Amino acid sequence: MAIAVIGIGMHRTGPAFRRHPFGTPMALLGLAVMLFRVEEPPQPESEVVAAAIDAAMWLLPALIGSALVLMGAPLYWRTRLLPLLAGWALIVAAWYQYYSTMSVVLSDALRWVSALLGVILAFTVFALCVRTAERMTPQEPETEGLSEKERKYVESVLRRHLEVADEP
Amino acid sequence: MNPDIESAISAFAGSAALTSLFIILALIGTLNPYHRPAIPMLGASTVILASTYLFAKTVGIPADSVALRMTMSEGVFALFDILSLVFLVSTFMFLQASLRKRPEDPLLALLESETGPE
């Protein structure tokens, strides 16, 4: 799981059109290590594996369905009916699977709230630490303006990318 | 101790520890020359150790590596529990996204007029 999380972290660095080259292979390697085990894991990890397999029964259709709905919904482009309908079918199947395999009782609410508070605590401590680290970083001097040569270079790059003919 | 309270404390400690572990792993995965990860890593490690200590005291076991592994396992169970809540909220958001009408975008209209409608 650690390898998969590091791989996902790597994949998220850099611009969307040029992700880290090792991100996806590392995430897939982590997934493969999780799925294909040579020997049974010891306690308490074996219980985690059993819980993960149970959860995968509804999590997998939920994840694939969510991705399809996001592809089909009119977020950035027109509605794409086929992925949208297939996604909703999978989401409905995921909910059906969840209610047929998982037993939810009211006393679980206390556990849910506690788990949420734990997550919030971890992120709050992280945010405070990042703020402290940033405050401890010495201020860099103000950057000087572009020189005439740099200005012309930036202008030509922008013109090329905006497909405007260079000035004579 | 009341089993419900014990379960709630275990979920709290486990989810805090596991989230902090994910934060450390994400920091490792995104390491670059402009990062200053020392203090965030120290903070996340402190949360993991404190959560392990809390879990060990609650369950009544020594705060050692076994307690650390059990805390992380509790974290996985706790996160699986709240995934259903996350999925519930997501389902409502997907419903809104599926039913909404995309606002007219002059740039997209220009693109369509050049390339033809898809």
The answer to whether residue A142 scores a pLDDT higher than 80 is yes
pLDDT digits (tens, 9 = 90+) for A15-70: 767 777 777 888 888 888 877 777 777 777 788 888 888 888 888 999 999 999 99
Cα–Cα distance measured from residue A10 to residue A22, given in angstroms and rounded to the nearest whole number: 7
ipTM metric: 0.81
The pLDDT value recorded for residue A109 is 83
The pLDDT value recorded for residue A158 is 86
Cα–Cα distance measured from residue A89 to residue A96, given in angstroms and rounded to the nearest whole number: 11
Report the sign of the C-alpha dihedral through residues A95, A96, A101, A104, in that order: positive
The pLDDT value recorded for residue B63 is 83
Q: How far is A36 from chain B (nearest CA, A)?
A: 19
**Residue A98 — very low, low, confident or very high, per pLDDT cuts 50/70/90?**
confident
| Predicted model pTM | 0.75
Question: What parts of chain B have a pLDDT lower than 50?
Answer: 118
The answer to whether residue A164 scores a pLDDT higher than 80 is no
Which residues of chain A does B14 touch, with a Cβ-Cβ cutoff of 8 Å?
115, 118
Contacts of B24 (CB under 8 A, 6+ apart): B41, B44, B45
Average pLDDT over chain A, rounded to whole? Answer: 83
Percent of chain B clearing pLDDT 90 (strictly above): 32
The pLDDT value recorded for residue A63 is 92
Find the length of chain A. 168
The pLDDT value recorded for residue A105 is 73
Choose, out of A111, A136, A140, the residue to mutate when testing the contact with B (most B CBs < 10 Å). A111
Choose, out of B61, B72, B73, B84, the residue to mutate when testing the contact with A (most A CBs < 10 Å). B84
| Helical ranges in chain A per DSSP H | 2-11, 23-35, 45-72, 81-101, 108-136, 148-161
**Which residues between 67 and 106 in chain A have a beta carbon less than 8 angstroms from any beta carbon of chain B?**
69-70, 72-75, 77-79, 84, 87-88, 91, 94-95, 98, 102, 104
Q: Report which of residues A120 and A74 the model is more confident about.
A: A120
pLDDT digits (tens, 9 = 90+) for B79-97: 888 888 899 999 999 998 8
Percent of chain A clearing pLDDT 70 (strictly above): 94
DSSP B59-107: HT--SSHHHHHHHHHHHHHHHHHHHHHHHHHHHHHHHHHHHSPPPP-HH
